[in-house]
Structure 1
């Protein structure tokens, strides 16, 4: 897979974010009508988690201090545990992991290339945004899986805490160099467009796209709102 050490190509602005709403929805909207076949779901989600693990492993190798290496190693271990959990579910369903993951690798690698960041700080910020956004997305998409698989997949995606160690790294970096704040805020904003496209690529869309959009729009509104809160907790402007 493409390493994070190379510089990214010129960046394009992400779509304009909707205005913020500080209220929290009492009912989480899901995507059960757009959930793909279980094998397709597991293959795509596992391919992403394998890529997350590789990205975080590269970040560990290039971290400037032991504290950052330790936090990133913790996050990488969590993504690996989730990946193994998804592969275990494939085994229960007698699916070949390589066969169900292979169709998704090209798209996942392209997403990785577009969001790798120009330096180590942007790499960590990319992981924080992409993993957080896409974990929220895949949990919602999993609502349409058969009951037993749905419960196991949701438990797998809830393993560990990826936000805390990545948040702590970025927070310390900004405290040490406040000038990073505006640059990382802009970079995180630019990530949203590609991350949304990666999420949409997992949907099983129908011929009637207008009906699909009625279900997609409120989910992505929620996801962007949580993305905004994630950056607000870092003092960044989404």
Structure 2
């Protein structure tokens, strides 16, 4: 497989760096919705892990000769629009968003990471590693649904909305950045390969919804 263009690597690290920064912001904000101090502390610890990931990415961008702020700037509008349009109104909606929405994005970035050379491949996989949010979200959401079955339908609709918005924004980002599009197409081999990549991501999303106790 041919080496990706340096600009494509900077683009990928840039969008991830901004994603980690917004993840920190969101987790810190969601922590204030927590119904218990235990939940609040858990999300605060996860937020700290996300900002540490952001720092690792910006350090690598600097090593590559890129300005981190400039590398992140092209992606702020798309990510901010997504988060503004999917702002959770409850503690549970915030957990579903982090588990389902962020999980789908992480799957996508892991797929792309396979096309990168070292050390960037390992760096991307490192910052995408779960900070404990997945297990925490599953426990909290499933417990809430067991206590009130009426929540399942509303949260399932919320999960589907999140994924629809995430896919729309991801497509827009790729369409606006030729380097990322070429990285994906070259890495998967052809459009059929891109289709298989999408199938894998969709399958993982379905499994996450099932794990939460929600209909995909």
- Scaled to the shorter chain, the TM-score interval is 0.7 to 0.9
Instruction: Tell me, yes or no, if the aligned pair for 2:10 and 2:71 is still in contact at 8 Å.
Output: yes
Gaps of 5+ in 1: 1-31
Q: Which moved more, 1:154-163 or 1:32-41?
A: 32-41
For residues 175 and 221 of structure 1, the distance between their equivalents in structure 2, rounded to whole angstroms, comes to: 31
Tell me whether 1:217 sits opposite 2:188 in the alignment. Answer: no
Note the C-alpha offset of 1:44.
0.8
The aligned counterpart of 2:34 is 63
Q: What is the CA–CA distance in structure 1 between the aligned matches of 2:198 and 2:78, rounded to whole Å?
A: 20
Which of 160, 168, 180 aligns to 2:131? It is: 160
Aligned pairs for 1:139-154 within 5 A: 139-154=110-125
Distance in 1 (alpha carbons) for counterparts of 2:91 and 2:27: 11
Residues 74-103 of structure 1: per-residue CA shift (max 9 Å, x gap):
332232222222122213223211111111
Contact 1:133 1:223 in 2 (8 A): yes
Q: Does 1:46 align with 2:17?
A: yes
Structure with more relative contact order (C-alpha pairs < 8 Å, separation 6 or more): 1
Q: Normalized per residue, which structure has more helix?
A: 2
What is the count of residue pairs matched by the alignment?
A: 204
Q: Which residue of 1 aligns with 2:177?
A: none
1:212 CA displacement: 5.5
Q: Counterpart in 2 of 1:91? A: 62
In the TM superposition, structure 1's runs of 4+ consecutive aligned residues that sit over 4 Å from their partners are 32-36
8 Å CA contact retained: 2:75, 2:173:
no
| RMSD after superposition | 2.4
Aligned to 2:165: 194
Match of 1:171 among 142, 158, 169: 142
* TM, length-normalised to structure 1: 0.76
